[in-house]
Amino acid sequence: MTAHKHHNIHSLVPRLFKDQKLIFLFSTFLGAAATGIFFSSLNNFLVDVYDMSADQRGVLETIREMPGMLLILLLAPFSAVREGRILFGATLVIALGIVGVASLSPDVLRVTAWLFVWSVGAHMVMTIRESFCVALSEPETRGRLFGIVRSLRSLGTIVGAACIWVGMGTLGLGYEKLYWIAAVLTLLSASIVLLIKEKRHTGTKRKRFVFKKKYSLFYLLAVLFGVRKQIFIVFGPWVLIRIFDQDAPAMARLILASSVVGLFLKPYLGKLIDTLGERTVLIGDSILLLMICACYGLAETTLPQALILPCLFTCFILDDSLFFLRSAHVTYLSKIVESPDELTASISTSYSIEHVVSMIAPIIAGLVWVRFGYPWVFFMSAVVAGLMFLASSKLPRKAGR
């Protein structure tokens, strides 16, 4: 028995470098840890270093999201390049962007430019990662792999948020040193990507552009998710920071708690996609989102003072986990796509469409905040949640239900 255990321990290391899923997941984890350091503290960084207002933050977010709109054009020239190579190069671009923000951004203009660079890499990685999730899984268990990937990203975010919490709160480290740590982790993630061997459509020449009427519901879901995503990514934390004075360590603790919840919840949500089908989980998502919008908009005026922050923290955590359900869009696409060589281009098309509205939504939301007050940003989001419900109800029912 002892010899058997000894053999298992020694066989584990080679397996780590042969099992394609494990390589992919380990690279994803390291990238997520870097993102946990960088992105979880970005709002506080912009307030502390540049004293940005809500409308300025909305404009910066629009520029940062521009690569998402251009994604279909960014990936098109690489249609003949293996997706593992694209993933490697895009991860290097992320590292470059983080270094630029950390050490080469003395003013708002330059920090915006470097965030644009970071965003180019991040959006390309986002698309290729989802493509690999499809390539490395079977249709009946695809949601589960997406759930594991998102769970690992939550684990990486836990590590990153803990670095912010301990690094700033205990060790007294500044943003620059912490962001350099994030850049190093990103470089490690890129180096591990080189070990991934191509599988299925990831190693073949793909179509550059795909836009078909058959995928119109998939595109509509992307549009609505784009509005929902940007309002909550930007203005959910902004409420806590600007209205309720939560500093960087406090936000890191909240993101840490959110990631712990996501670590356990996201694999379960992935199984729900497989067992209940995309229609059911996305309808449930829209109903929960409507409740979250109401909480953000009404908590300060309707709840006792002692319950306001706990309620908003709960909404933040729940909403963060629900972002995972965008994976149901891709699993739905993988079931209706006409040819495997259309998959990656179709995903990039949906991201480009999504980001057209993602660029507009923060500006409108920032102006609404300044003109009418922050609750109206979330009342506007409630309308989007209603539209998401209607669109999700058009998805096909799961066979046998």
- Here the CATH number for the domain that contains residue 305 is 1.20.1250.20
Q: Whats the size of the chain, residue-wise?
A: 401
Express each pLDDT in 304-343 by its tens digit.
Answer: 888 889 999 999 999 888 887 888 888 888 787 777 667 7
- The mean pLDDT value of the chain amounts to 82
**147 vs 149: CA distance, rounded Å:** 5
pTM value is 0.73
Which residues are CB-neighbours of 204 under 8 A, at least 6 positions away? 340, 341
pLDDT of residue 203: 47
Q: What CA–CA distance (Å, rounded) separates 344 from 342?
A: 6
What pLDDT score was predicted for residue 105?
84
Q: Which of 29, 23, 26, 54 lies closest to 367 in space, CA to CA? A: 54
pLDDT tens digit sequence for 180-192:
999 999 999 999 9
Is residue 38 pLDDT above 50, yes or no?
Answer: yes
pLDDT band at 15, cuts 50/70/90?
Answer: low
Is 369:235 a contact under the CB 8 Å cutoff?
yes
Any domain includes 255: yes
Assess contact for 139 and 398: CB atoms under 8 A. no
**Tens-place pLDDT, residues 332-351:** 887 877 776 677 777 778 87
| Confidence check: pLDDT of 298 > 60 | yes
The domain tally of the chain equals 1
At 199 the pLDDT is: 59
- Cα distance between residue 189 and residue 197, in whole Å: 15
pLDDT tens readout for residues 203-225: 455 555 566 677 788 888 888 88
Domain-located, residue 398 = no
Per-residue pLDDT band at 64 (split at 50, 70, 90): confident
Using pLDDT thresholds of 50, 70 and 90, give the confidence band for residue 363. confident
- Does residue 13 fall inside a structural domain? no
Domain range for residue 105? 18-392
Residue 6 located in a structural domain: no
Position 327 in a domain = yes
Q: Is residue 139 part of a domain?
A: yes
Q: Which two tokens stand for residue 57?
A: 């933050």
The answer to whether residue 278 sits within a structural domain is yes
Q: Is residue 12 part of a domain?
A: no
| Res 131 pLDDT > 90 | no
Instruction: Give residue 341's pLDDT.
Output: 67
pLDDT tens digits, residue range 68-103?
878 878 887 877 777 788 889 999 999 999 999 999
